[in-house]
């Protein structure tokens, strides 16, 4: 696929997530899909469960693509997520607090689907915004 087509796959995924269409988003994930983070790797089922948990806890979650750069079969994205904490997430009961976090990720596209993701999530800032960790 071309760089332009790979970027379109990314934009389509964000559109689906922003509309709350996780089923549509999950159809864009390849069967071998794996998410790689600094402290864990998540195969497809675990990634689906994690995303479902996030969107259940933050039903109004919305992502903005701040930057997107592509080369070959990889697309790098800097994203900002906003939302309201309305359900349990990572062991924290709903706080009704607003979140605003920025993450970076690189997605490998294969056959028009997300095949792999390497990400750095702003979990520390998220936990501070939810009141689980004191602000410094």
Tens-digit pLDDT profile for residues 75-125: 999 999 999 999 999 999 999 999 999 999 999 999 999 999 999 999 999
Indicate whether 18 belongs to any domain.
yes
Residue 73 confidence (pLDDT) above 90: yes
Average pLDDT along the chain: 97
Residue 40: inside a domain: yes
For residue 122, what pLDDT is reported?
Answer: 92
Instruction: Indicate whether 122 belongs to any domain.
Output: yes
Mean of the pLDDT values across residues 56-68? 98
The structure tokens 């922003």 sit at: 18
The answer to whether residue 109 sits within a structural domain is: yes
All residues at 6 or more sequence positions from 32 whose CB lies less than 8 Å from its CB, including other chains: 44, 115
In this prediction, residues 43-65 reach a mean pLDDT of 98
How confident is the model at residue 128, as a pLDDT? 96
State the total domains in the chain: 1
Q: What is the mean pLDDT of residues 18-46?
A: 97
Q: Does some domain include residue 134?
A: no
| Residue 15, SS3 per DSSP | helix
Q: Per-residue pLDDT for 136 more than 80?
A: no
Rounded distance, CA 21 to CA 66, Å? 21
Instruction: Give the range of the structural domain holding residue 93, as residue numbers without chain letter.
Output: 3-129
pLDDT confidence of residue 38: 87
- The answer on pLDDT for 47 being more than 90 is yes
Give the predicted TM-score (pTM) of the model: 0.94
């Amino acid at each position: 696929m071309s760089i332009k087509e790979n970027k379109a796959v990314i934009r389509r995924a964000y559109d689906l997530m922003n509309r709350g269409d996780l089923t549509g988003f999950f159809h864009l994930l390849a069967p071998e899909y794996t998410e790689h983070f600094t402290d864990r790797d998540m195969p497809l089922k675990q990634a689906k469960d994690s995303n479902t948990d996030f969107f259940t806890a933050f039903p109004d979650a919305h992502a903005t693509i701040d930057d997107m750069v592509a080369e070959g079969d990889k697309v790098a994205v800097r994203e900002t997520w906003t939302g309201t904490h309305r359900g349990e997430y990572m062991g924290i009961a709903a706080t009704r607090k607003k979140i605003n976090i920025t993450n970076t990720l690189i997605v490998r596209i294969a056959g028009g689907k997300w095949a792999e993701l390497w990400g750095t999530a702003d979990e520390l800032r998220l936990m501070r915004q939810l009141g689980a960790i004191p602000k410094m």
